[in-house]
Amino acid sequence: MHLTGSLVVSLLAATSFALPDKSAVKHVRSNSGYSLKTPPLTTPWTDKVGTDPWPEYPRPQLERSQWQNLNGVWQYENASGLDAVQSPPFGQNFSQEVLIPSCLESGLSGIQAVDALYSWFSNSFNVDSSWKGQQVLLNFGAVDYEATVFVNGKQAGFHRGGYFRFTLDVTPYVNFGQDNELLVFVHDPTDSGDYVIPIGKQTLNPNHIFYTPCSGIWQSVWIESTPATYITQLDLAADMHGQVNVTVHSSNLNTSTPVEISLLENDKVVAAHKGPSNRPFQFKVSSPKLWSPDSPHLYNVTVKMGSDTIQSYTGFRTISKGTVDGVVRPLLNGEFVFMFGTLDQGFWPDGIYTPPTQEAMVFDLQLLKDLGFNSVRKHIKVENERWYQACDQMGLLVIQDMPAMRPLQTEADGATILPNATQQAEFGRQLTILVNQLKSFPSIAVWIIYNEGWGQITNYYPEFGLTALVQSLDPTRLVDSTTGWFDHGAGDFSDNHHYANPQCGSPFYSIDSSPYDDTRIGFQGEFGGLGNNVSIEHLWNVQAAIETINQTYEIDTSIDAWNYRSHVVLGELRDQVQLFACSGGVWTQTTDVEGEVNGLMTYDRRLKRVNEKQWKSDIQALYDAADARRNNATVEASS
Ligand SMILES: *[C@@H]1O[C@H](CO)[C@@H](O)[C@H](O)[C@H]1NC(C)=O
Ligand SMILES: *[C@@H]1O[C@H](CO)[C@@H](O)[C@H](O)[C@H]1NC(C)=O
Ligand SMILES: *[C@@H]1O[C@H](CO)[C@@H](O)[C@H](O)[C@H]1NC(C)=O
Ligand SMILES: *[C@@H]1O[C@H](CO)[C@@H](O)[C@H](O)[C@H]1NC(C)=O
Ligand SMILES: *[C@@H]1O[C@H](CO)[C@@H](O)[C@H](O)[C@H]1NC(C)=O
Ligand SMILES: *[C@@H]1O[C@H](CO)[C@@H](O)[C@H](O)[C@H]1NC(C)=O
Ligand SMILES: *[C@@H]1O[C@H](CO)[C@@H](O)[C@H](O)[C@H]1NC(C)=O
Ligand SMILES: *[C@@H]1O[C@H](CO)[C@@H](O)[C@H](O)[C@H]1NC(C)=O
Ligand SMILES: CC(=O)N[C@H]1CO[C@H](CO)[C@@H](O)[C@@H]1O
């Protein structure tokens, strides 16, 4: 018997429900072949990942106790092409071993593949005999880009979209108390051929601000056991008045089952309500403690539907917009909140899209909190759900981008590549999934649809329809329809990008941007980007990336010069808060990424460029300037 560490952890986590019989848990295949491949740069966590990555429960807002983590060492083989899926290699050992979850291109995967367009993954998993009579659900946190899943030789499902969670009911295919063969075919075209799909910053040809792609099973995989009728999704929204809106989605769409929801604080039920499944219902909690970045209070939630019980949580807060002293402002709990965050791309030199560990992931967010940022812009990527939970717990307002399709022009041939009608419809479908999957995280404040014109059709203005779509799916958030470039008046923000200095809510503007529109929120969706080269041990050690270091942004020749320039640029933003209609900004960026050396810290997270004392004071000055506007005091811009 071989009991992997991840199973031990997941079994230990399953304390309040019947534990699977440990003696029945085993893996048939040897896992001795996996070893970390040395990436071009490591992080302090690279060597801590081991072979049982991401033991934490992957779906914190719909948590079941009876589950089994399938992360760990799987088998991998490069596939010849799309046709390979027609003849799945059942019952075979593959030539290589791979760490799941990971990007095939990452050192942590043990593969470090290039051009991994078609792949096979296999693993075997035991379904405990005590689960017999229950449903068995197989969950994937995210697979980039298309996954065809086979269980014991039968096709169990297909999923398209590289950033989203999906669940397959594999009950009919599994053998209880025995090993089951799991085979996954993955097709990830990224930006090859004429594919125009949501990819964010991934490219098969990394250069400048475009990076190494991520292919394969890059978020956690797990199975869980449920009753015949089970909760598939929980939509929860709670506002500053104590209003709670709930929809408990059931696997049985035909009938409405009674559900009971309880809010808990320190294990005590502080509110409870009964309602139907599959239909929205509401109730009110008197004088809830509100959620905000300064006081990120959360309530635990238990939902029971028939014999299914799940754990979740929520926070009470209201995001809206309103006019404060004649200026349209974003409001949190009815008050102007100056939103100040970083461009946070979520790339890692050892894991690419997959943070090496939860601790590493939180390390980035903690730096932002320590410096006084109250927001973070998750840039054209979707994180695993524990990242949003961390923002909920730590108190960071999330500005969430939809992963972009290809940028307007490719470096190679200068050709314009825009989505055709089919691809545009698919973009809308995936945008719908994004909002529906993430809308119950209290920290998310703003949805972004388009970044700098990437994939944005301009012979008609699709952002108007997509904005209406997002507003209908989630009326509780603001929509920043176009951050940077082609603004035709859609959405809640008049959002400008400008480097290095900001032009926020300002009456002047540069050729790339539009004049501030005073009917919407004036915002600086990107600025800063100041660079500073570092020694080779902190650099992404790839010659092509090193050669582009001085081709993108301003490079300051010392860390002192970098902090001096930061102080000047942040001071300019403060002046614009005082003088103009600037309601927030996004500093580029949290960390260096590949050939970009403009982070608050380096790509390996080992060197912080920020002079913390100065940055804290410069960031506080932004909030003070905003407070002065909120209080309608007369202020003068400093020189
Ligand atoms: C996979 O195989 C194809 C040819 O069958 C090859 O072109 C490609 O480079 C291989 N990819 C990897 C990651 O090995
Ligand atoms: C796969 O490998 C395992 C042990 O590593 C071996 O027992 C088994 O026979 C192999 N299967 C095939 C089909 O080669
Ligand atoms: C709850 O639903 C009502 C009616 O649809 C809506 O007016 C209200 O804004 C919602 N509140 C929250 C917190 O979602
Ligand atoms: C729901 O109703 C449809 C059509 O009547 C039926 O085919 C399906 O089996 C029902 N599903 C459940 C879960 O009862
Ligand atoms: C929610 O539950 C978690 C663990 O179950 C606990 O650590 C936390 O304190 C609880 N929160 C509240 C507000 O009771
Ligand atoms: C869009 O392009 C894709 C890829 O070439 C193609 O498969 C699809 O049929 C096209 N759709 C339309 C409406 O042209
Ligand atoms: C940046 O530093 C690296 C390593 O020290 C060096 O090879 C490269 O030439 C430098 N680039 C610039 C633009 O200074
Ligand atoms: C950029 O840096 C490279 C070294 O990586 C150097 O050869 C080149 O001259 C620099 N270009 C400019 C414009 O400074
Ligand atoms: C300095 C400032 O913003 N003053 C404003 C205070 O509010 C009144 C009434 O809305 C305005 O007329 C002032 O311009």
More confident residue, 509 or 395: 395
Mean pLDDT is lowest, of 406-410, 467-471, 560-564, for 406-410
**Pairing relation of β-strands 335-336 and 327-332?**
antiparallel
Alpha carbon distance 473, 470 (integer Å): 5
Assess if residue 464 is contained within a domain: yes
102 confidence band (pLDDT: 50, 70, 90): very high
Smallest CA separation from ligand 9 atom 14, residue: 325
Smallest CA separation from ligand 8 atom 14, residue: 550
pLDDT in tens, 574-628: 999 999 999 999 999 999 999 999 999 999 999 999 999 999 999 999 999 999 9
Pocket test for ligand 5, best of 265, 300, 386 (most atoms within 8 A of CB): 300
Across the range 265-293, mean pLDDT stands at 97
Atom of ligand 7 at shortest range from CA of 534: 2
Smallest CA separation from ligand 5 atom 3, residue: 300
Is the Cα torsion angle 508, 514, 518, 524 positive or negative in sign? negative
Bond preceding residue 58 cis, omega within 30 of 0: no
Assess if residue 577 is contained within a domain: yes
What is the residue type of 284?
Answer: K
Average pLDDT over the chain, rounded to an integer: 93
414 confidence band (pLDDT: 50, 70, 90): low
Alpha carbon distance 94, 155 (integer Å): 19
The domain tally of the chain equals 1
Assess if residue 320 is contained within a domain: no
pLDDT of res. 515: 84
pLDDT in tens, 320-350: 999 999 999 999 999 999 999 999 999 999 9
Alpha carbon distance 122, 98 (integer Å): 10
DSSP single-letter state for residue 95: S
Mean pLDDT is lowest, of 301-315, 410-424, 482-496, for 410-424
Among candidates 372, 357, 305, which has minimal Cα distance to 570? 372
Q: Which residues line ligand 5 (CB under 6 A)?
A: 264-266, 298-300
Assess if residue 16 is contained within a domain: no
pLDDT of res. 349: 98
Assess if residue 138 is contained within a domain: no
CA distance to 200, 226, 255, 279, 406, per residue, from 252 (Å) = 35, 13, 6, 12, 39
Assess if residue 456 is contained within a domain: yes
DSSP single-letter state for residue 411: T
Alpha carbon distance 590, 613 (integer Å): 17
Q: Is the CB of 421 under 6 A from ligand 6?
A: yes
Across the range 157-168, mean pLDDT stands at 98
Assess if residue 621 is contained within a domain: yes
Which ligand is nearest to the Cα of residue 15, counting in written order?
5
Q: How far apart are the first and last CA of the chain?
A: 72
pLDDT of res. 508: 83
Assess if residue 67 is contained within a domain: no
pLDDT of res. 413: 60
Largest CA distance in the chain: 75
Across the range 364-393, mean pLDDT stands at 98
Burial class (CB in 10 A: 0-12, 13-18, 19+), 347: buried
CATH of the domain at 524: 3.20.20.80
Q: Report whether pLDDT(48) > 90.
A: yes
User: Can you give the pTM of this predicted structure?
Assistant: 0.93
Atom of ligand 9 at shortest range from CA of 634: 1
Q: Which residues line ligand 2 (CB under 6 A)?
A: 29-30, 91-93
Burial class (CB in 10 A: 0-12, 13-18, 19+), 396: buried
Range of the domain at 592: 341-637
pLDDT of res. 513: 72
Which ligand is nearest to the Cα of residue 84, counting in written order?
1
Atom of ligand 9 at shortest range from CA of 633: 1
CA distance to 209, 383, 494, per residue, from 455 (Å) = 16, 21, 19
